[in-house]
Structure 1
Amino acid sequence: MKMIIETINSFKSKRRNQSHSNKTGHCCTNGKHRVFPDVRVVTQDVCKHEESPMRSDAISTRGSNLNDHYHVIPKATGQGVAGSVYPAIHRKTRKVYAVKSIKKATARRKDRIMREITFLREVNHPNIIKAYGVYEDDHAYHIVTEMCYGSELFDKIVEKASSGIGCFLERDAARIISDLLSAVSYLHKLNIVHRDIKPENILFTEENNDMSSIKLIDFGLSVRHTEDHPKLANCVGTAYYMAPEILNGSYDRSCDLWSVGVIAFVMLCGRPPFNGSNDDKVFARIMTGKYSMDTPHWHGITDDAKDFVRKLLQMDPAKRMTAGEALEHPWVVDNKMELD
């Protein structure tokens, strides 16, 4: 167990600032506290559609102030290099939302922000974060989304490792993975490839409740890609969860399923399948495709669970399960029936 905790702590110390935009660079979406002195709207706000996510035609150049519609509480619930997340109370409905503030630091980051806004406008799925409006000031973009009161999946993983539990019960892991696959399947039907699926981008809707729904967030690295188009080539993602074909510079939507496989592996045994002291070592491990299920951490895990992970961590993307196939795997189906 000590080894698991040390691995996870090392994992935790490196998890921020690791969303790569190419092989040598990286970009992030969180940072220090920002005030909202003079904000203008760039997409339609929730004030006229309190319970509806942004429409795909919601872009507007109308002047409006975020503070006219929301009371933003100046205490960040999430913070990183590029921006912060704040709770905000809608002045009319008194409903609580989250405001994600993203700094306008570089042209590359602006491109990432625009991608996120574009895809959030389009998607509407119970396991994907809903956006209700986007504002802009001289320093940042501010995306208004539904509020998730729970923690990141990553924090749950660390919590279980630190408490001595080590990992998730299979039925709980299968439920979370099922919800995640449902979101991924939906995105892929829209020809959207997420490219940064990881525990940090999966939020629980309720606090201290492993059985609450999950929401997939952060579409800054997402891209639209159809199967009849040339393969994607940009090396993007977060080291631990990047598929080998991404590192080879030729990939498609199946890279998201590799990431789901890595997450399932971590949830079931408490440690990543491909570990290393730096990104290059992690990449080298990924390229071997070798991982072990013969360690004590896998004792007691069912054959169905192991088979599920193996079918996602296929080096050949053509042999990897699709999101639809993964949703029909016995491990997912049987555990879902047990919970129902």
Structure 2
Amino acid sequence: MPLGKNGKKKIEDINMVYNIKEKLGAGAFSEVVLAQEKDSERLVALKCIPKKALRGKEAVVENEIAVLKKIAHKNIVALEDIYESPSHLYLAMELVTGGELFDRIIERGYYTEKDASQLVRQILDALQYLHNMGIVHRDLKVPWPQNELKLGDFGLSKIEDGGMMATACGTPGYVAPELLEQKPYGKAVDVWALGVISYILLCGYPPFYDENDSELFNQIIKAEYEFDSPYWDDISESAKDFIRHLLEREPEKRLTCEQALQHPWISGDTALERDIHGSVSEQIQKNFARSQWKRAFNATSFLRHITKMGQSAEADPEESTVETVQEEKDKW
């Protein structure tokens, strides 16, 4: 099979390689389908990108491919193959099963702070791996569960080239203050997002939320959040300390991944084993209904906020920022 740029396998028709089973999701300029490879019968998640829709956004996809080809980690969704037909580009991704993490927590029936700590540890392991390779994820969200958690959504990731970044991108509910303020940023934005994830895993609702988008962004910029009673009454001080060090407003004061892995809530025995399932699952169901999630973390309003600030993003062909961010939101 002939190879093109970036190791893409040239084909006339993707149906020569895969049996397409069903649609799994769609984005602004792509869709993801369940596909079975004809030779091996292996199932993959096949990201199908029409070349017509890709015009002007080629650098975004090339960046995603470049990042995915560099990484191999048990807690990161793997890129398995790349195909190119006359009309489409196809990314064959490892198929992640098990549903959304929130659903898995609700179904468990028993869930402790120690369980949350172990989940965060898996994310940290993957994040440290990325950062050691000079990769900033930039759109870290609650990951997909399987036997082990899997990070995905690398469409906004960036390989550091020795400097700070400035492009406005990400998911607003998880985005760091410095990014909202359009300041140069680096790996610390991923650590902030992990702080948001850790907070949610311990109480079932996000640290920053408001029906008004401007107020939501103001909360994030000021790093204004609370450990509300009664939801945090049974959570250890060690867990709260861990989150405080991740949701630190000043990026230079945030823990690095290596430091976070050494925190006693992760590496020690300070995470409590008291069952918090009832409270957490109730709040997850209340606060993360699909419609509320989209309302809380609206990509369009995020970019409107950035525009109002009157500051331009970096001149970088990687971004068609509105379309890229919206695609990630549409997946939800």
TM-score (norm 1): 0.72
State whether residues 84 and 90 of structure 2, in contact with CA within 8 Å, keep that contact through their aligned partners in structure 1. yes
Query: Residues 300-338 of structure 1, C-alpha deviation per residue, up to 9 Å, x if partnerless?
Result: 111111111111000111110111111111111236999
State whether residues 86 and 99 of structure 1, in contact with CA within 8 Å, keep that contact through their aligned partners in structure 2. yes
SS in 1 for 2:35: strand
Q: Distance in 1 between matches of 2:48 and 2:243?
A: 36
| Structure 2 counterpart of 1:23 | none
Query: Residues 143-184 of structure 1, C-alpha deviation per residue, up to 9 Å, x if partnerless?
Result: 111111112335557xx3xx898x952122112111111111
Q: Which runs of 5+ in 2 are unaligned?
A: 274-332
Q: Distance in 2 between matches of 1:276 and 1:301?
A: 24
Identity over aligned residues, as a percent?
34
Q: Decide which moves more: 242-251 or 129-138.
A: 129-138
State whether residues 176 and 220 of structure 2, in contact with CA within 8 Å, keep that contact through their aligned partners in structure 1. yes
Correspondence list, 1:178-197, <5 A: 178-197=121-140
State whether residues 241 and 258 of structure 1, in contact with CA within 8 Å, keep that contact through their aligned partners in structure 2. yes
State whether residues 41 and 64 of structure 1, in contact with CA within 8 Å, keep that contact through their aligned partners in structure 2. no
Query: Residues 64-115 of structure 1, C-alpha deviation per residue, up to 9 Å, x if partnerless?
Result: 6432222221x11233443322222222222222212234425454322221
Does residue 266 (structure 1) correspond to residue 200 (structure 2)? The answer is yes
Q: Distance in 2 between matches of 1:155 and 1:79?
A: 21
| Structure 2 counterpart of 1:94 | 41
Correspondence list, 1:78-227, <5 A: 78-104=25-51, 105-107=53-55, 109-137=57-85, 139-153=87-101, 155-156=103-104, 160=106, 169-199=112-142, 202-205=143-146, 212-226=147-161
SS in 1 for 2:7: coil
Does residue 234 (structure 1) correspond to residue 167 (structure 2)? The answer is yes
Q: Distance in 2 between matches of 1:196 and 1:168?
A: 26
Correspondence list, 1:293-312, <5 A: 293-312=227-246
Return the offset for 1:218.
Answer: 1.4
SS in 2 for 1:102: strand
Instruction: Specify which of 6, 12, 19 is matched with residue 71 of structure 1.
Output: 19
TM-score (norm 2): 0.73
Q: Distance in 2 between matches of 1:94 and 1:336?
A: 45
Return the offset for 1:137.
Answer: 3.7
Return the offset for 1:42.
Answer: 6.0
| Structure 1 counterpart of 2:320 | none
| Structure 1 counterpart of 2:185 | 251
Return the offset for 1:139.
Answer: 4.8
Does residue 333 (structure 1) correspond to residue 240 (structure 2)? The answer is no
Q: Distance in 2 between matches of 1:154 and 1:102?
A: 29
Q: Which runs of 5+ in 1 are unaligned?
A: 1-39, 44-56, 206-211
- Residues 88 and 335 of structure 1: CA distance in aligned 2, closer, same or farther (over 3 Å): farther
* Superposition CA RMSD, Å: 2.8
